[in-house]
Amino acid sequence: MSSLFLSNLIQSKQLVNMCKICIENRMFQTANTIINSIVYNVLNISTLPKELMLSCLANKNKNCYIIFVESNGHGHVTQMKNIILNLKHKYKCVGIVIGREKKIATEFAKNNQIPILNLYEPKYVSNKNTDILVHETILCLLNYSTYFYKKVSDFVTSKRPEFIINLHLPIKLICGLAINVFNISTQNRINFDYYYDKIVSQKKYSKFNINSVIFSCYMVDNFNLNPHKIAIDCVNNKHIKTIPPLIKRESLIEPIHRKHDSINEKFIICYFNVPQNIYLYNLIGNFKNIKFYVFIEKKPDFVVSSNIEFKELGKDFSILRKKSIGLITSCGVETIYENFQLCLPMLCIPSNVEQLFNAYDHSEKVPGFKWTFKITKNDINWLINFKYSKDYWEKHNNFTKFLNKDDLLEKYIHEKLSKNL
């Protein structure tokens, strides 16, 4: 099978439509089998002997691992950095495979002398419609199957890791069937079936779009024959092994001090992954007694009120956030947990299906969290006049205690690896 033939096969509309039909109807095993047939083609099977050598303990570098990182947004890279730093006293990271080149990951790898391999995956956090994203995903599979697979295989086998940590990068590798893979993800905390009907009833996204999020988790779960699933969550779950959020520990400034009358200027932080329309800026522009600092990649072209100031994401974000009275942001994960740690109430706008699942989950676990597709004047007033309850402080206290258990991941890895001896 030539590269050209495989290229033409993957780009065929029939194959794309077949995958879409399977995913839309939650026939995940069938869709996964189709993708396996693309990735594990005769061009890549030649790597099999070398990859399967890793199944032999004697061929592995003890206490060494490679970390796979999904690159959309900033959360997974933050997780990667904190995991590497948390584990460095016991386990050594000998390589990073990331879905797409990111400056922050490249600099971290260079500063810590860790080899890094950049792939190419679509930007799922965007305003693109589903059909375009599906096309880009298929092209990503094509590039991975015909070009990147051997690169990843050579990269991993040359490092001979004892195990792999996967931060939700949905790629496939034959050696992943032969060694321990720790699938660590905030998505692992979510019971997709529990929220599924609620999200479908919103009629905001198609079933295909909703099921695509679930299928990406299915692919990651099937990276390994016996994956070790670990959830990242703000509470300790009974149904799955859970570690606390991989966020920086912050010193707290009590909200009562932050909102004291002696504060000359009250302000709210806005932070978005995708551009917002003029409606939101017109709305917050009406609150003249409140300053709004908006952190976003690209400043909009239209004119906004004088109480709105656009800033680039950097050190100012952390400093200003600590002094703010609350946030308006998207429905990610790490940022939500960071805000909760700092006792900051927040209004959140889901920008995609995954964030809508997050919104439902956060609503049950994080006090001071409110989400909506369209923010209103009443929502802004709720944020400005937020009242801290006894329930809030109880949940915050439990969250803070759980955050301090940052040795759970190391203990869990040690426990699983010890069983192989």
Structural domains in the chain? 3-29+51-247+406-418 (3.40.50), 255-403 (3.40.50.2000)
* pLDDT higher than 60, residue 399: yes
Residue 312 CA to residue 332 CA, distance in Å, equals: 19
* pLDDT higher than 80, residue 322: yes
pLDDT for the residue numbered 198: 94
pLDDT for the residue numbered 125: 52
pLDDT for the residue numbered 81: 95
Q: What average pLDDT does range 69-87 have in this prediction?
A: 89
Give residues with Cβ within 8 angstroms of 258, minimum separation 6: 323, 324, 325
Q: How confident is the model at residue 256 (pLDDT cuts 50, 70, 90)?
A: very low
Instruction: Please indicate whether residue 147 or residue 321 has the higher confidence score (pLDDT).
Output: 321
Residue in the structure block whose two tokens are 């909009």: 300
Residue 315 CA to residue 248 CA, distance in Å, equals: 14
Polymer length of the chain: 421
SS (H, E, C) 166-183: EECCCCCCHHHHCCEEEE
pLDDT in tens, 5-49: 555 555 556 777 788 888 889 999 998 888 777 777 656 666 666
Of these ranges, 1-15, 120-134, 194-208, the one predicted with the greatest mean pLDDT is: 194-208
pLDDT in tens, 171-195: 888 777 778 899 999 999 999 999 9
**Percent of the chain with pLDDT strictly greater than 70:** 82
pLDDT for the residue numbered 147: 73
Predicted TM-score (pTM) of this structure: 0.87
